[in-house]
Amino acid sequence: MLKTRLLHPGILAALGEAGHGAQVLIADGNYPLLTRSSSAAHRVYLNLAPGLVTVTDVLEVLVDAIPIEAAHVMTPDTGEEPDIFAEFRELLPTTRLQPLRRVPFYDAARGPDLALAIATGEQRIYANLLLTIGVVVPAELPKSAATGISGTTGALE
């Protein structure tokens, strides 16, 4: 049993293969995941029913699992800001939301850096989020990750 909030085996595997600069798409229920995400990305379908699971449900778990260096959001062509952006800001307090119109957002999500695309049952429109994975600073590593290295030779003990 894992002690983290993130338990989904497919998401864990995809994040384990991803690294700094890789991207994660969390898509709302209207997003055309098959045709508007990179074919090389792992695809996970969490869209059980309308409203289950939401984009913010997924984001709440991911913020504890990965460092997030950037967050792109899809904006309507009118330029109006969807209400869900306020929730994104609450969950990503140190990350500025970077707006992209619909077609440029689709293009970004089909790029080679997309490692994971997650479909949700989110019903709010323009609730799509493209996250860029940041760096885990060595001071943030758990003690157990550094205990097997000798301080003098750098060799494993």
Any domain includes 28: yes
Distances (CA, A) of 74 to 9, 49, 142, 147: 28, 22, 35, 43
Query: Measured between alpha carbons, how far is 55 from 46 in angstroms, rounded to an integer?
Result: 10
Distances (CA, A) of 2 to 16, 28, 55, 116: 14, 27, 23, 21
The predicted structure's pLDDT at residue 106: 98
Return mean pLDDT, the chain. 91
Range of the domain at 118: 21-136
Do strands 23-27 and 114-119 pair parallel, antiparallel, or not at all (unpaired)? Answer: parallel
Q: What share of the chain has pLDDT > 90, as a percent?
A: 83
Any domain includes 156: no
Q: Give per-residue pLDDT as tens, 125-140.
A: 999 999 999 998 887 6
Do strands 23-27 and 129-133 pair parallel, antiparallel, or not at all (unpaired)? Answer: antiparallel
The DSSP 8-state label assigned to residue 31 in this structure reads -
Any domain includes 124: yes
- Average pLDDT estimate for 109-118: 98
Any domain includes 14: no
Domain count, the chain: 1
Task: Indicate whether this model's pTM tops 0.85.
Answer: yes
Q: Give per-residue pLDDT as tens, 54-97.
A: 999 999 999 999 999 999 999 999 989 999 999 999 999 999 99
